[in-house]
Structures are given as structure tokens and as C-alpha cells.
Chains A and B, each alone.
Chain A
Amino acid sequence: MMAAEREAEAPPEAPTTTKRGTRRWLVGVPLAWFIGAVLCTSFAGGLVANGFLYRWMARASHRVWWREGGQTEPFEHDRPRWLMSGATGWRGWLGGLTQNVSVGVSGAFQSFMALIPSAALWMFAWRYGWDNSFTKGYDLRWIGPTLGLLGTALFVGTMWLLPLAQARHATTRSWRAFWDVGMLATLAKTRWIDAVPVAAAYALLGIPFTWMWMIPVFAPTNNDAFASMSPEELRGWLDGYYFVWAVLGFAATFWLKWLGARWYARALLGAVRGGAITRRQLHPVEAAHFDAGGLLAVRDLSHRHPLVRAADWTASTLGRATVVVVASALWGLVAFQLFVGLFFHYRPVVGWTNQPLILVPVFKYVPPGLRP
């Protein structure tokens, strides 16, 4: 059934629902955005925001499956909130916050573990590669560049699966599901074309957020006012500056996570329908949704004409090769942005280990000398 037809058949919304929707867009969304931006200016807050974003990822994937299931039942999924949950009684009051914290910490930890090998290689390559250059130890000149490139290759490989892993973790709340690399690779192969827009989105949004790190480097250029500012005034400047970026950063991360969730949900749907993944391989949460929506039917494509199958195979193979090159290049661009940002504005350790659009959404850096 076409979406337009579905809309036409849907019962008219009651006036109270419309009012609630208007109020949500005029008050609820800006307020939630504001809270998210405030949280994204500290590491602890970033973990809470990460949980909130993960819960929205789960909602986005459920919604994809609900739509594909014919919408025979109303879409039932708690709208993630910052503080409260849908539970009744005293549990409801801080239920949202509790979930945000637990999901956020767990999600960040799994992603951190996935990314730390490449980050560790980068840190070592940068620190000791330049140290080697400083001391002119050119007999070992290969160490820095080689480890740096190795870290980048590892990062690119990780990022091929990480958006899917994050979305699956968010949906199933299972860390084992996050690390099911075989399943994730099957999903990536099933919807390989979606890797490009996801990687492109990260690469494009990475450009302004690289500038975010660079602007404080150039702000005092030919501006002597900064030299006479007190530490409190400088901290105030940074607070205001990074808050503006956190407003944008929270929205950008929300969109990126949403893209990842849709990629995951569609890929899982395609893999199940194509027979690449059976019901037994699904996580119980996934299986429940697929059962409810009647999404487990496998399409039989064996009846297709051999020429059609050959054309499909050729197009798929060429397309996959192109996608692998393009998406890998885009993820490489994301890594390059990290290096550029750190060359201009070196942030020891955290600069390598936390890319806010990917891991914990913290769009702020206050140097040790200005911390209270």
C-alpha cells in the first residue's frame, strides 16, 4: 500500500492530538534540544545525551519495521524523554533519566572499545612519530607514518560496521548484539549502498565540527583583547562559544544516529527477506518485532530469468566495489579531519579517543589551565 493511500485511509486525528502535536513542536522539541545541547557541553552530560540518542535510534528502527509491517497496530514505542518514562508510579519520575544513563554509558563503552585500537595506534604514531622526527631517528622513520596509516585502515574498517552496531545495540540493548560482527557484516552487504550516505553525512558534518576546534586557535590573532582577559572571562567565552556548537552538535548527532538506525533496520529487513539471516539468528527483541509485523517471509528470487540474475550480479558486484571505495574514502576523510583538527588544536588523549559525532557527544574543550 502506498504511503499516500495509507494516509488517506487513516482516521482523522482528534483536535486534542493536533494541539498536543503543535505544543510538542513549539515547546517540547526546542526544550528537549536545549537540554540536549546543555548536556553536550560536559562528558557526564554527553553520556546522558548518548543514552537519549540511543533510545531514539531504537525508536527509529522500530518505526521502519512498523511501517513495513503494514501498520495494522498503532505504533507503540515510548517517546524517549530526558527525565520521565512512560511507567506509572514513582518509577516513572526518573525512569527516563535512568534509562538515558544506563544506555548511554553502555553504548559509549562498547563504541569506545571498538574504536580504541585505531585511536591507540594514532596516538602512538603521532606522539612517537614526531618524537622520532625531532630526534632525527630516521633509521626508524617508517614507524610514525606506518602506524598512522594502520590506525586509519583500522578506523575505516571499524566505521563500516559501527553505525550498524550502535543501532543494533540501541535496539536490542544487548552488548553481545553490538559485537556480532558476522551479523553486522551481513547487514552491511545487504544494504551496501546505504554505507555511502551514512559515511558522507559523517564526512560532511565533520567539516564544520573540525572548524569548531580550529576557531579558538585563531580567535586571538591580531586581537589583543584576549591577552588581557582573566581566566574567568576566557572560560566564559569558551562556555558561550561551545554552547552554540553544542546546539548544532546535538542536532547533527541526532541526525547521524537516525541515519544509522534506518540503515540497520532496512538492512535487517532485507537480510531476513533475502534469506541471508534466519529467525534463529535474530536477537529476541528483533524477532519479536519481526513476528509482530509479519516480516519473516522470505522472497523467492530463484524464478528470475538467468539474464536478469546475471545483470543483477554484475551490477551488484560493480556497485559494491564502487561503494567500498567511495565509503572507505569518506571514512578516511573523517580520519583526516581528526588529524587536521588535532594539528591546529591539540587536545591530549581526548582528542584521539572521543570523536563527538561518533562516540560521546561532547562539543566542548576547556584546557586544564582554565578549569575551575
Chain B
Amino acid sequence: MNRRQLLVSIAASLGLAPTAFASAPARAASRVVLVRYGGGVRRRESIQAATSWSPYLVHDLLPQGTLFRNMEMGTGKEIQTSHGQGTLFLLTGRYYNYKQEQGTVLGEHFVSPFPTLLELMRAQGAAPHEVVVLNGENRPQEEHFTFSQHPDYGEEFQGSLLSKKAFEQWLAAGRPETDDPISQMWAKWQAYWGDTGTLHPRGDRLLTELSLWVLEHLQPRFLMINYNDCDYVHWGNPEHYKRGVTAMDHGLRQIVAAIDGNPALRDDTLLVVAPDCGRDDNRLLAVPFQHHFGDRSSREVFAYFRGPGVPRGRVIDRACQQVDVMPTIAAQLGLPKAEAEGSALDEVWA
């Protein structure tokens, strides 16, 4: 037992846990599905009804929960509007210029010195298959966002990362038949989709498919879905942005249907939708949203919450920060906010 587990045990024995660590909601869902509406989406194409490319999100989902429409990312050169950084802001609740992992040169192999939500859950006893991050194709740099370098946490408390690459690694390992629920799920996946990797949906549609499988077979306590395909617009084709956003919108519809259709999840799951970062609104360019290089629009994000006890159809106008998402989820799950600098968004339960 480490220091963290010891503190939690003592607090529990004194009847303090989990309120000693975070402001808990009146009615707690014990599961969270966090959809990273990424990589890099503007409010205009997501939550603003007149211009949105996300009809399901705007017309069906928003009326079912609470929207923080004026959430922002912090300013300053140290705070970068990138996918890796934004994802770690969501997972740690801390703005920080996350550095490259030693030995890596290109990509965003960022490592966090602050504990992530996944480690906090594992430290409280969640099994690896209950704490899952789903990663897209071609994003190997995000395969290790499941743990930090914090001395009290780290690899020992890492969550599970599932992806096409993880499935291929399972195949390469000889398809081990163990009691591990993840291994069992891969066996079913292989039986259904084969092992060529070409029959199942691809890109962000694969993430949606994997989400449905994980929700059904693993019923995790925490699931993060890292959508990213709309970021292809970096190469200049605006159509990729639109197709990426609509793929996520379709995915949301399927994920919500899967949650609502599963008795174990239906009244016990908090759905959170939040972008990793916004996108530029650079009118000096032919494709104003080609990049997310730190203009005001790229720092303008949002967060949406839906679940038991969350007010329906509510829109919060006050300014809040992206690092507030993590403490809110932590409060929902009865976790300490650890080294997060943000504050829980109390309107989620008020």
C-alpha cells in the first residue's frame, strides 16, 4: 500500500472519503465517459447551432445536459493549444508545458509530472480494464497518456490503452487466452472482425466501434475516447475537418445509445464532451481553421455534461477553464483533485 492508498483508507475509516478530497455531487454516477471532441474543434462547428456541423450534439444532446459554453484554455506561451497538451490538461487539471519524453524527437510524446485521472482511479482500487483510454490510428505518441511520472503514482497505476495498435500487439503476443477481460474482448473482436485490420471501420469510426465494444464488454468506470481525425485539415483540405466533425457527431449518437441501452450504465454514467483544444479562426488564410496555433479561437473550448443529477438543457455563460474538467470528474467519482489547479464546476450538480 502506498501513501495515497493509506490516506484514502484512513479517510474512509473516518467516514470522510471521498468528500475529504473533492466536493462530491449530491447524486454520484460511478462511471464517466469522457469524449475528447478533437483534435481541435471550434465552438462554431460544434456547439453553435447556426453554424454547427454536429447536428446530433446541438439538437439532441445539449438539451439533455449542462453546457459550459465559455470554457477557455489558459493564455501564455507556456500553454500550448495542441492535442497532447490539451489532453493532459483534461486528464491532470493542470496547465503546464508538458515536455517530450526522453529519447523521443518528433511527435508529442509528452509526459506529465502530475497524476492523471486514470492513476487516481487505479490508486483507489479500480482494475486496469475499468480505466480505459481509446486511441486512434496513427497516434502512437498518445499511447502512454495513461500514467504520469509522479512519484506516488506512475506506471504501477496506469490505465489501459486500447487501440488498433494494442489489438495488433495482442495478436503479436500469440493471442493469450487469460482471464483478463481485455484479452477476452480482443478474442471476440478478432472472431468478429478478423485480424487483417481492414474490415472494421477505420479512423475515428473505429474509435466509435471500439467504444461500443468496451462499453458492452468491459463496462469501465472511466472511459476516455480520443477522437482526432478532424485534425487532418492541417494539410489544407477543409473537407477533412467537416468529415471529422460529423464522424464524431455520429459517434456521439451511437455512444449515447449504447449507454442508455445498457441497464448497468444507463443511470450510472456521466457523459462529458470536451475538445482538447479549439482551432484558429485566422481570416488571413484561405482555410481559417487550418491550424490551432494559439489565436483566441484556438483557446475557446467548451464542456458538456450529461448524467444522473445533471440539470437538463442548462447553458452556463460564466467563464471557466479547461483545467476545471478534471476536478469536476474527480468530484463525480469521489477522487482527490490531486495537483489540479482547476476547480470543480459545481453547476453540474446544482
Contacts and interface: CB of A to CB of B under 8 A. Distances in A.
Interface string B286-308: 11101101111100000000000
A217 B140 CA distance: 27
Nearest to B138: A133
B236 A343 contact: yes
A342 B293 contact: no
A90 interface: no
A255 interface: no
Nearest to B297: A227
A221 interface: yes
Given A227-B281, A369-B283, A221 B293 contact: yes
B236 A346 contact: yes
Interface in A203-259: 216-224, 226-227, 229, 231, 234, 237-238
Interface of A: 126-127, 130-131, 133-136, 138-139, 216-224, 226-227, 229, 231, 234, 237-238, 342-348, 365, 367-370
B296 A136 contact: no
Contacts of A231: 283
26 contacts: A127-B237, A131-B237, A133-B138, A134-B229, A134-B240, A135-B202, A136-B137, A136-B202, A136-B203, A139-B198, A217-B282, A217-B284, A221-B294, A224-B295, A227-B281, A238-B284, A342-B236, A343-B234, A343-B235, A344-B291, A346-B285, A347-B286, A348-B286, A368-B286, A369-B283, A370-B284
Interface in B146-183: none
B38 to A, nearest CB: 15
Contacts of A237: 284
Interface of B: 75-77, 137-138, 198, 202-203, 229, 232, 234-237, 240, 243-244, 280-288, 290-291, 293-297
B232 A134 contact: yes
A288 to B, nearest CB: 48
Given A221-B294, A224-B295, A224-B296, 14 more contacts: A130-B237, A134-B203, A134-B229, A134-B240, A139-B198, A217-B285, A221-B293, A222-B294, A226-B282, A227-B281, A345-B286, A346-B285, A346-B290, A367-B284
B295 A221 contact: yes
A138 B203 CA distance: 12
Given A139-B198, A224-B296, A133 B232 contact: yes
Contact of B75 (A127, A222, A368): A222
A343 B295 CA distance: 18
B243 to A, nearest CB: 7
4 nearest A-B residue pairs (beta carbon): A346-B236, A136-B202, A220-B295, A216-B284
B235 A218 contact: no
A256 B236 CA distance: 30
Q: Is the interface of B mostly helix, strand, loop or mixed?
A: loop
A227 B198 contact: no
Contacts, number: 96
A216 B285 contact: yes
Nearest to A137: B202
A222 B77 contact: yes
B286 A220 contact: no
A131 B240 CA distance: 8
Contacts of A217: 282, 284-285, 290-291, 293
A135 B204 CA distance: 10
Contacts of B237: 127, 130-131, 346
Given A134-B240, A139-B198, A234 B286 contact: no
Nearest to A368: B286
Contacts of B76: 222
Among B138, B232, B286, B297, the most chain A Cβ lie within 10 Å of the Cβ of B286
A234 B284 contact: yes
Contacts of B291: 217, 344
A369 B288 contact: yes
A265 B342 CA distance: 70
Contact of B295 (A227, A346, A367): A227
Nearest to A234: B283
A283 B203 CA distance: 59
Nearest to B243: A134
A134 B229 CA distance: 7
B286 A346 contact: yes
A213 B51 CA distance: 29
Contacts of B287: 346
A234 B295 CA distance: 15
Nearest to B198: A139
A31 B3 CA distance: 77
A130 B295 contact: no
Given A130-B240, A134-B240, A227-B297, A367 B283 contact: yes
Contacts of A348: 236, 286
A218 B295 CA distance: 8
Contacts of A369: 283, 286, 288
B232 A216 contact: no
A56 to B, nearest CB: 33
A342 B237 CA distance: 11
B324 to A, nearest CB: 21
Contacts of A234: 283-284
A368 B293 CA distance: 21
A322 to B, nearest CB: 32
Contact of B235 (A130, A238, A370): A130
Nearest to B282: A220
Contacts of B244: 134
A195 B185 CA distance: 62
